[in-house]
Amino acid sequence: MSEAAQLLGQRIRVGRERFGFTQKELADRMGFASHQIVSQIEKGERELKAWELAQLSRVLHISVVDLLSGTVAEPEPVVLWRKQPQTNKSEKEAIFLQRCRRYHFVEQVVGTNARLSLPSIKKDSLSLTFSDVDRLAQDLRRMLDLGARPAISLIPAAEEYLGIQVWYEDLEEDGSGASARGSFGCAVLLNSAEAPWRRNYSFAHELFHLITWNAISPESLEKDRRVFERAEHIAEQFASVLLLPADELLVELDSQIKAGQIYYDGLVTLAREFDVSTGALLWRCVNLNRLSAEAVKRILADADFQKIDRATMHAHWWNPPPLPERYVFMAFMAYQQAKLSRSKLAEYLEVPITKLTDFLLQYGLDDREDYQIKIPWQSELGATTTVEA
Amino acid sequence: MTPPPQSLLPDADVIIYAHKIKVWSVLKEKVRIVVPSVILHKEAIYSETDAEWTQIDLPGQVARGEIAEIGATTKEINEVLSKFDVVAREALHIGELEALALLLSGRAAGALFCSADKAAIQSLALLGLSEQGVSLEGVLRSVGLSRPLQHQYTESYFRRHIGIGKERRIKGEGLANKRLW
Phi-psi region of B168 (alpha: psi -120 to 50; beta: other; left: phi over 0): alpha
The pLDDT of residue A102 is 97
User: In this complex, is the C-beta atom of B62 within 8 Å of any C-beta atom belonging to chain A?
Assistant: no
One-letter amino acid of A120: S
Residue A249 CA to residue A247 CA, distance in Å, equals 6
The DSSP annotation for chain B comes to -PPPPSEEEE-HHHHHHHHHTT-HHHHHHHSEEEEEHHHHHH---EEEETTEEEE--HHHHHHTTSSEEE--BHHHHHHHHTTB-HHHHHHS-HHHHHHHHHHHHTTTTTEEEE---HHHHHHHHHTT-GGGEE-HHHHHHHTT------GGGSHHHHHHHHHHHHHHHHHTTTBSS----
pLDDT at A389: 38
- A50 contacts on B by Cβ (under 8 Å): 36-38, 71-74, 76-77, 94, 97-98, 101
What integer pLDDT is reported at residue A218 of this predicted model? 83
* pLDDT, mean of residues B53-67: 90
Bridge partners (DSSP) listed for residue B52:
B49
* Residues A271 and A306 sit within 8 Å (Cβ to Cβ): no
**pTM for this model (two decimals):** 0.90
- Give the whole-angstrom CA distance, residue A263 versus residue A254: 12
How far apart, in whole angstroms, are the C-alpha atoms of residue B36 and residue A49?
A: 11
pLDDT surpassing 60 at residue A374: no
Q: Residue A69 has what pLDDT?
A: 82
What is the average per-residue pLDDT within A247-266?
A: 91
Say what the pLDDT of residue B56 is.
Answer: 87
Chain B interface test: which of A104, A105, A344, A371 (most B C-beta within 10 Å) = A344
Closest chain B CA to residue A110: B87
CA distance A56 to chain B (A): 11
pLDDT score for A302: 96
- pLDDT grade, residue A378 (50/70/90)? low
Looking at CA atoms only, how far is residue A336 from chain B in angstroms? 9
Cβ of B107 under 8 Å from any chain A Cβ?
no
pLDDT band (50, 70, 90) for residue B96 = very high
Question: Is A64 in Cβ contact with B94 (below 8 Å)?
Answer: yes
Residue of A332, A330, A333, A336 lying closest to A346 (CA atoms): A332
Q: For residues A186 and A179, is the Cβ–Cβ distance under 8 A? A: yes
Are the Cβ atoms of A338 and B119 closer than 8 angstroms? Answer: yes
Q: The complex's ipTM?
A: 0.93
- CA A251 vs. chain centroid, Å, equals 33
Compute the distance between CA of residue A49 and CA of residue B71 in angstroms, rounded to an integer: 7
Out of B75, B90, B150, the one facing A65 most closely (by C-beta) is B90
| Closest CA relative to residue A338, chosen from B32, B84, B155 | B84
Q: Which residues of chain A have a CB within 8 Å of the CB of B71?
A: 49-51
Query: pLDDT at position A388, please?
Result: 46
Residue B119 in contact with partner chain A when CB distance is under 8 A? yes
- Cα B159 from Cα A90, distance rounded (Å): 46
Q: A180 near A97, Cβ under 8 Å?
A: yes
Residue of B nearest to A58 (CA): B42
Q: Which residue of B has its CA nearest to A336?
A: B118
By C-alpha distance, the chain B residue nearest A8 is: B74
The pLDDT of residue B122 is above 70? yes
**pLDDT tens-digit readout, A159-180:** 999 999 999 999 887 778 999 9
Q: Do A54 and A65 form a contact (C-beta atoms < 8 A)?
A: no
Residues of A near B (Cβ–Cβ under 8 Å) read: 2, 4-5, 8, 47-51, 53-55, 57-58, 63-65, 68-69, 105, 108-109, 335, 338-344, 346-347, 352-354, 368, 370, 372
Structure confidence by residue, pLDDT tens digits, A281-313: 999 999 999 999 999 999 999 999 999 999 999
Helix axes B118-126, B94-105, angle to 10 degrees: 30
Q: In whole angstroms, how far apart are CA A237 and each of A132, A198, A213, A289, A306?
A: 11, 15, 17, 15, 24
Contact A370 B152 (CB under 8 A): yes
Question: How far apart are alpha carbons A185 and A189 in whole angstroms?
Answer: 13
- Alpha helices, H only, A64-195: 64-69, 89-110, 130-143, 150-162
Is 70 exceeded by the pLDDT of residue B50? Answer: no
Cβ partners under 8 Å of residue A347, min gap 6:
B93
Residue B99 CA to residue A248 CA, distance in Å, equals 61
Shortest CA distance to B24 belongs to which of B74, B33, A178, B175? Answer: B33
- Contact assignment for B72 to A64 by CB distance below 8 Å: no
Q: Chain A contacts of B46, Cβ < 8 Å?
A: 352, 354
Residues shown for chain A? 389
Q: How far is CA A1 from CA A8, A44, A68, A72, B75, in A?
A: 11, 6, 15, 18, 12
Pair A156, A258: CB distance under 8 Å: no
Which residue in chain A has the smallest CA separation from B88?
A339
Q: Is the pLDDT at A379 greater than 70, yes or no?
A: no
pLDDT digits (tens, 9 = 90+) for A82-134: 888 888 888 899 999 999 999 999 999 998 877 788 887 777 767 888 889 99
> Which residues in chain B touch residue A46, judged by CB atoms under 8 angstroms apart?
none
- Tell me the average pLDDT across A26-47: 93
Q: Mean pLDDT, to the nearest integer, of B90-99?
A: 96
| Full DSSP string of A249-265 | HHHHHHHHEETTEE-HH
| CA nearest neighbour of A68 among A100, A44, A39 | A44
A201-224 pLDDT tens trace: 999 999 999 999 888 888 888 888
Give the model's pLDDT for residue A220: 82
Residue A213, classed as helix, strand or coil, is coil
Q: Do B12 and A5 touch (CB under 8 A)?
A: no
For A51, the closest chain B residue by CA position comes to B38
What is the structure's pLDDT at A204?
A: 97
Contact B37 A49 (CB under 8 A): yes
Q: What is the dihedral of CA B146, B151, B153, B154, to 10 degrees?
A: 60
C-alpha A117/C-alpha A22 separation (Å) is 42
Contact B75 A2 (CB under 8 A): yes
Residues in chain B: 181
Give CA–CA dist B165/B158, Å, rounded: 10
Looking at the DSSP assignment, which residues form a beta bridge with residue A371?
Answer: none
Q: Domain A3-75: which topology?
A: 434 Repressor (Amino-terminal Domain) (1.10.260)
A353–B41: do the CB atoms touch at under 8 Å?
no
| CB neighbourhood size of A122 (10 A) | 8
Nearest to B80 by CA among B167, B12, B174: B174
Cβ atoms of A299 and A307 closer than 8 Å: no
Q: Which helix (H) or strand (E) holds A363?
A: none
pLDDT at A117: 87
Instruction: Select from 2.60.40, 1.20.120, 3.40.50, 1.25.40 the CATH code of B7-171.
Output: 3.40.50
Could you give the residue range(s) of every CATH 1.10.260.40 domain in chain A? 3-75
Does the CA dihedral A337-A339-A344-A348 come out positive or negative? negative
- What is the overall mean pLDDT for chain A? 89
Q: Is B19 on the interface with A (CB under 8 A)?
A: no
Mean predicted confidence (pLDDT) in A319-325: 95
Q: What residues does B73 pair with on adjacent strands?
A: A49
